Amino acid sequence: MDSGRTIVHMDLDSFFVSVERLYDSRLNGKPILIGGSGDRGVVASCSYEARKFGVHSAMPMRTARQLCPEALIIRGDFEKYSQKSHEITEIIREEVPLFEKSSIDEFYIDYTGMDRFFGCFKMAKELRERILKESGLPISLGLSENKTVSKVATGEAKPNNAKEVPRGTEKPFLAPLSVRKIPMIGEKTSLTLYNMGVKTVRTLQVMPAELLEATFGKNGLSIWEKANGIDRSPVTPYSEAKSISSENTFEQDTIDVKMLEANLIAMTEQLAGKLRQKQQLTACVSVKIRYSDFDTHTVQQRIPYTSADHNLIKTVKELFKKLYTRRLLIRLIGVRFSHLVHGSYQINLFEDTEEQIRLYQALDRLNGKYGDKTVCRAVGMQVGRRRFNPFNGVAV
106 is catalytic: yes
342: nearest Cα among 393, 267, 293, 283: 283
**Residue 11, annotated ligand binder?**
yes
Contact, 351 vs 260, CB < 8 A?
no
Alpha carbon distance 141, 145 (integer Å) = 13
Strand, helix or coil for residue 55: coil
Other residues' Cβ atoms within 10 Å of the Cβ of residue 275? 24
Alpha carbon distance 309, 376 (integer Å) = 10
Which residues is 282 bridged to in the sheet?
Answer: 306
Strand, helix or coil for residue 343: coil
Alpha carbon distance 19, 76 (integer Å) = 10
Find the distance separating the first CA and the last CA of the chain, reported in whole Å.
47
**Residue 256, annotated ligand binder?**
no
Alpha carbon distance 95, 272 (integer Å) = 33
Q: Which of 49, 100, 106, 354 is catalytic?
A: 106
Check residue 251 and report its DSSP letter.
Answer: E
Alpha carbon distance 189, 121 (integer Å) = 33
Please give the backbone phi and psi of residue 118, each rounded to the nearest 5 degrees, phi first.
-140, 165
Residues 6+ apart with CB under 8 A from 374: 366, 367
Alpha carbon distance 38, 278 (integer Å) = 28
Residues in binding site for Mg(2+)? 11, 105
- Catalytic amino acids? 106
